[in-house]
Structure 1
Amino acid sequence: MILLVEDDRFILEGLTLSLRGEGFSLVTASSLKEASSIVKEKLNQIEMVLLDVTLPDGSGFDLFYEIRKKSGIPVLFLTAMDDEIHKVMALEQGADDYITKPFHIRELIARMRAVMRRYKGTESALIRIGENLIDLTKGKIYRNDQEVLLSAMEYKLLLIFVNNKNQLLTRELILDCLYDDLGEYVSDNTLTVYIKRLRDKMGSDFIETVRGVGYRVKGD
């Protein structure tokens, strides 16, 4: 299902007719409030969002940030603002594409399909462990819908656990992986500190300690 957010009724009706004619299933919204309500209720059913930047009750970026706290589904901005600043801002924040009005419907559909192909190739890069959502493609982590900020070392440590999910890792193996990745010596005490920091940010039960052996992160 595609979520189409557009406040111009003429454009909304035209896109709805064209996209449904191409076989897309649609749900539409013409305001930030309406779109936010749909996201809260149907996020797990939405495959892509077509999002106007300028809405009557706010900015499309607000909805974009709300979505990104919960999901990495593709978001394609539709906007009359063709200045470089807005394009760069959207793409740097993680938007999948940005198309300026007016546009040809065939171009929009081609871009939508290209984005969907890319997304299907990276869908497995979204990993949920407990209350944490890890987007490996964008290097972002969310806990209870709030973005978690990690240092470079904390993120490297997280990747080691995520890439070896459900496996018991000894401290020696973790230290070896950190050394190979960073190319610099990491002490045993430093590892202890960063494991504690990761637990503080990801949840105390995120990393399981197996006494006398090592650590493990459990996940589906």
Structure 2
Amino acid sequence: MSEARVPRDAQRKRLYQAEHPLPSSPLPGLDACSGFADRVVGTLWWYARFPDHRLDGIPRLRPGHGARQAFYREDDDGPTITLPRRYRTKGVMLHELAHWAMSGDDDLPNHGRTFARLLLDITLEFCGPDRADLLTQSYREHKVSLGSPPRIGPDGRPRYGWDERLRLGRGETLAICHLGRGDTPIATTGVYEGKDRSGKVLRVRVGAAARPMRIPTNSVWDVRAAR
């Protein structure tokens, strides 16, 4: 079995450059960083989007003596966030928590369109509209590509990444969740051949079918790599 391709993290530098000029909101020490993380992860907003990333699994914070930057990492004893002193801010904590939230999305770039969207949404929710507006403006200035808003599934849960998986997944076998007639949830697995000329319909070839299945783009609420 061949290993899954790791997507190129093409806009990592641009996203960092977009974040850098924003005003910081310092947190006085690791305890304050931990308390802020608990408040974020303990909200209904977070739980609605990431029900598998709960308070009992929140990353352990490391002081990062000698580290040049903050970073998220999965160690043998669980996930960690390394926070050198100068990076102990709300913005950095939200950035690293976003990495934790997407830790299972290894088919998406680490700082791609989906991450940029999540970072913007999480900034709006926990740092307010003024900072979110500044981040949006900085995204434009640094040409950061921004993913589409999450789509809400039949269970009421918003799901990120559907659009980026379609963008990266042409020719790949994808599991596409969408609504059929009467808003019936349907999961279609097949080779994604792209959109039609209008951009409003997905073409998905299921098995040995002579013609691809046509799925309205606006009916899609989740896309995953087929396992």
Is TM-score (shorter-chain normalized) higher than 0.5?
no
Q: TM-score, normalised by structure 2?
A: 0.26
Question: Is the helix fraction higher in 1 or 2?
Answer: 1
User: Highest CA radius of gyration, 1 or 2?
Assistant: 1
TM-score (normalised: structure 1):
0.26
